[in-house]
Amino acid sequence: MKLNRREFNIAAGASTLTLGLGAAPMVFAGNAKPKVVVIGGGTGGATAARYIAKDSKGAIDVTLIEPTKRYYTCYFSNLYIGGFREYESLGHSYAKLASEYGINVIHDWAVTVDRKKKMVVLGSGSMVPYDKLVVSPGIDLKFASVAEGYSVADQGIFPHAWKSGTQAQLLKAKVTGMKQGGTFLMVPPPNPFRCPPGPYERISMIAHHFKNNNPTAKIVILDPKDKFSKMGLFKDGWERHYKGMIDWQPLSSLGGLKSINTATGEFVTDLDTFKADAACVIPANTSGQIAKTAGLTNDKGWCPIHQGSMKSKVDPDVYVIGDASVASSMPKSGFAANSQAKVCAMAVRGELTKSKVFPARYANTCWSLIAPNDGVKVGATYKAGDKKIDPTSKFISKNGEDADTRQATYEESVGWYAGITADIFG
Amino acid sequence: MGLLIRLAAAASTTLVLATAVHADEKVEYGEYLSGSCVTCHQLSGADNGIPAIVGWDAEAFVEVLLSYKTKERDNKAMQTIAIPLSKEEMEALAAYFATIKAKE
């Protein structure tokens, strides 16, 4: 349901022109509307901004701080790598959030937060005051944690593509450009990380590309984990569709990853050295940096929250949602971030306008495409438990499901993508 | 532009209708619960691989959710969603979605 902001703003005497950086809708004198600032215009932040603006019906001033002018989703980027989606289909504009919901979208970085003064300091030097702050910064990557010889300087050679956009395009180019019969190597991240099945869907998509374009290519996975999300489903699918192509090895059986040589493509473990012609290295994840500079993280680098509202345990005027939050047992995913954003939006509105607050409900579904029309999913519904977010029911696809079920599962994911991006960006 | 104006008018009508019944607590509760439905079942009524559920008869809506709860109907995602829902919550969802008109 879209609030017609044009009608509201004209009635209120405010300008409907938002020209981007620095331009805010004019407000009439004596306005004491409560202010919410959202840091991060990804899946969590943009959803929170839209729901707070839409459901408060103009009673709350919403500002969204996001450096990029076009959001490229991480989810479905694997399908782009596999050749199932066009790159531009992953991209979404902030225009409607600005023009139809009256959100002040500022394309800038939040570099620090003064929580005493309740002010967000932007990279450009401007300062944005808030009554309530929603922080949805996603992740940053711990490049130094992978192995000796690998740093942020190397992400252009062995991309992580664990944030979408240019890195996804680069990874696709590396995959499609790999020599015939070459070896593609992936180092997935250790727990906890965003999108638990993601690296393995990515392997499936790369294998699909190789099957059709580079059939003698090989894929090696050196995993810091001993098991992974939907492992049984992926291994079954890889055996059926990509027999003999994919070799998954836990690093625990190799004595750990000691060093990476980006010039020679050598990945050295205690027991063996692997030579890669192309590679994807996904470092350990941590909260987006602003969560740390704002003082919202614990000693593990993630943000503890109250499970009924997503309010930070560190500061009652700050909420943290999405990947950066400690929201177990929910996984870190786009679906989860969008779900948490709605609970957060309801809680924020309740605090600022005394609107009704219902008990928190959360949900998540993660779809993965293994091969054309062979999709699997895992998901659950949740409520706020005594200590954390607890599942109320769960499901996972099963091996041996018929082809129709797997095709329907894939088609649901396509419908979901259209639905969630409309839900986030209007 | 004419089509856009007509679409905007239809959307405004929907908004007015929804606002008028917003005083109804069932619809308000249903709107809150619908947060986890609308990422798949689009409010616009668009139908890409996931059926539209806007503007349904409220009783039929509840019947379908109940049949997922009892696993009479097959889809695992819908069963997972329906199982923790009480009849009251299903009725609230039904009341809310009944107020939404699909965009033509």
The reply to whether A355 and A267 lie within a common domain is: no
Supply the DSSP string of A123-186, one letter for each residue. TTS-EEE-SEEEE---EEEEGGGS-BT--GGGTTTS----S-SHHHHHHHHHHHHSPTT-EEEE
Return the pLDDT at B24.
79
Cβ–Cβ below 8 Å for A397 and B18: no
Return the pLDDT at B2.
54
| Measured distance CA(A223)–CA(A253) in Å, rounded | 10
The reply to whether A208 and A337 lie within a common domain is: no
Return the pLDDT at A29.
39
A132 has which bridge partners?
Answer: A36
Return the pLDDT at A10.
45
pLDDT in tens, A300-337: 999 999 999 999 999 999 999 999 999 999 999 999 99
Write out chain A residues lying below 8 Å of B100, CB-based. 1
**Cβ count near A243 (within 10 Å):** 9
* A402 at B interface, C-beta within 8 A: no
* A394 at B interface, C-beta within 8 A: yes
- Using the 3D structure, point to which of A245, A260, A283 is the last residue of a domain: A283
* A339 at B interface, C-beta within 8 A: yes
Write out chain B residues lying below 8 Å of A422, CB-based. 42-44, 46
The reply to whether A362 and A400 lie within a common domain is: yes
The reply to whether A262 and A206 lie within a common domain is: yes
Q: In 3-state terms, what secondary structure has residue B73?
A: coil
Cβ–Cβ below 8 Å for A365 and B42: no
The reply to whether A240 and A195 lie within a common domain is: yes
Cβ–Cβ below 8 Å for A422 and B77: no
| Measured distance CA(A321)–CA(A339) in Å, rounded | 9
The reply to whether A261 and A304 lie within a common domain is: no
Which CATH number belongs to the domain containing residue A53 in this structure? 3.50.50.60
Q: Does pLDDT of B9 surpass 80?
A: no
pLDDT in tens, B81-93: 899 899 999 999 9
- Split into its structural domains, chain A has a count of 2
Count of CA atoms in the C-beta half-sphere (13 A) of A365? 26
Range of the domain at A257: 142-283
Supply the DSSP string of A272-301, one letter for each residue. -EEE-SEEEE-PEEEE-HHHHHTT---TTS
* A346 at B interface, C-beta within 8 A: yes
| Measured distance CA(A169)–CA(A272) in Å, rounded | 31
User: Which residue ranges make up each domain of chain B?
Assistant: 2-98
CB nearest to B11's CB, from A2, A394, A423: A2
Cβ–Cβ below 8 Å for A393 and B80: yes
The reply to whether A111 and A169 lie within a common domain is: no
- The residue in chain B having the minimum alpha-carbon distance to the alpha carbon of residue A425 is B39
DSSP A313: S
Could you report the predicted ipTM of this complex, rounded to two decimals?
0.76
pTM for the whole structure: 0.89
The vertex-A53 CA angle with A50 and A54, nearest 5°, equals: 80
Q: In 3-state terms, what secondary structure has residue A65?
A: strand
User: With 0-12 CB in 10 A as exposed, 13-18 as middle and 19+ as buried, what is A190?
Assistant: middle
The reply to whether A134 and A148 lie within a common domain is: no
Cβ–Cβ below 8 Å for B15 and A3: yes
**Cβ count near B9 (within 10 Å):** 10
| Measured distance CA(A142)–CA(A285) in Å, rounded | 6
Q: Which residues of chain A have pLDDT under 70?
A: 1-31
Which of A344, A418, A365, A401 has its CA nearest to residue A196? Answer: A365
Distance of residue A423 Cα from the nearest chain B Cα, in angstroms: 6
- Using the 3D structure, point to which of A267, A283, A299 is the last residue of a domain: A283
pLDDT in tens, A393-422: 999 999 999 999 999 999 999 999 999 999
Structure token pair of residue A350: 């309740």
Return the pLDDT at B25.
86
Average pLDDT over residues B33-49: 89
Q: Which fold has domain B2-98?
A: Cytochrome Bc1 Complex; Chain D, domain 2 (1.10.760)
Confidence band for B17, pLDDT divided at 50, 70 and 90: very low
Distance of residue A409 Cα from the nearest chain B Cα, in angstroms: 9
Q: Does pLDDT of B23 surpass 80?
A: no
| Measured distance CA(A356)–CA(A342) in Å, rounded | 13
Confidence band for B47, pLDDT divided at 50, 70 and 90: confident
The reply to whether A293 and A404 lie within a common domain is: yes
| Measured distance CA(A146)–CA(A189) in Å, rounded | 9
* A400 at B interface, C-beta within 8 A: no
The reply to whether A65 and A164 lie within a common domain is: no
Q: In 3-state terms, what secondary structure has residue B99?
A: coil
Return the pLDDT at A18.
38
The reply to whether A226 and A326 lie within a common domain is: no
Confidence band for B1, pLDDT divided at 50, 70 and 90: low
The reply to whether A148 and A278 lie within a common domain is: yes
